[in-house]
Amino acid sequence: MTVIAVVSAGLSQPSSTRLLADRLAEAAGRHLAGAEIRVVELRGLAVDIANNLVTGFPSPALKEALETVERADGLIAVTPIFTASYSGLFKSFFDVLDNTALQGTPVLIAATGGTARHSLALEHALRPMFTYLRAVVVPTAVYAASEDWGATSGDGLASRVDRAAGELAALLSRTPRKRPAEAPLIPFEQQLAALRPFTTG
C-alpha cells in the first residue's frame, strides 16, 4: 500500500493551511486509489520541536511524527508564508528530520498566504529546501492566497490542486521509493588500523 504523509504547519484553528493540505490529500487519493493518507499537524508539536532543537532528543509524539514522514512513500508539505518565506515551525520540523530521510521521495509543496505576491516563496524557499534534502519535487507547486478560495474557473485553485496531485500520483505509480543503502558497520579497531602509517619491512 502506498502511504502519503501530509505535513501541515498551520497555526490557527480553523486553518487555511490545513484546509489546503486536506484538499491536496483528497485529490491525491482520487488519483492514486488505495493510498493511505497520514496527517502530521505541526501546531501541536511546536514545543516538542523546540525542545528537540536544543536537546537533540524527540518526545514520543514528535518521534512518531518524524517516523510517519520518514516511512512514507510520498509527502505533501504545506506551510503558511510569513515574511516571504516558510514559517519557522515548518522549517524547524524539517531541521530535526534526518537529512537523508526524504532522499528520492516524491514531494508536493504548497503554501497559503494573504496575498498572491508571496507565491514566489514556493520557488525561492520551499523548492530549494526539498531539493537540498534530495527529494523529488513535483513540477506544480500550489499557492493559495485569500482570493483563491472563491475562484471557480480557469486556472484556479481547484485546477492547480488537481494538477499537482496528479503529478505526485504519477511519480508514486512509476517510481519506487529510493531508500539509501545502509553503509556496512566497520569495527572501530579496524578503522584505527587503517589510519596507521604504512611501513615496509
Mean pLDDT by 10 residues, the chain (201 residues): 96 92 96 94 97 96 98 97 94 96 97 88 96 97 88 74 96 68 60 63 50
pLDDT at 180: 46
pLDDT at 137: 97
Cell of 53: 532543537
The class level of CATH for 3-195 reads: alpha beta
* Distance (Å, whole) CA 146 – CA 92: 25
* Distance (Å, whole) CA 84 – CA 20: 18
Q: Are 160 and 140 in contact (CB under 8 A)?
A: yes
For the chain, the distance separating the N- and C-terminal CA atoms, rounded to the nearest angstrom, is 60
Cell of 195: 589510519
pLDDT at 190: 72
pLDDT at 147: 84
pLDDT at 93: 98
SS3 81: strand
Q: What is the DSSP letter of 134?
A: T
Q: Are 173 and 181 in contact (CB under 8 A)?
A: no
pLDDT at 188: 66
pLDDT at 153: 54
pLDDT at 13: 85
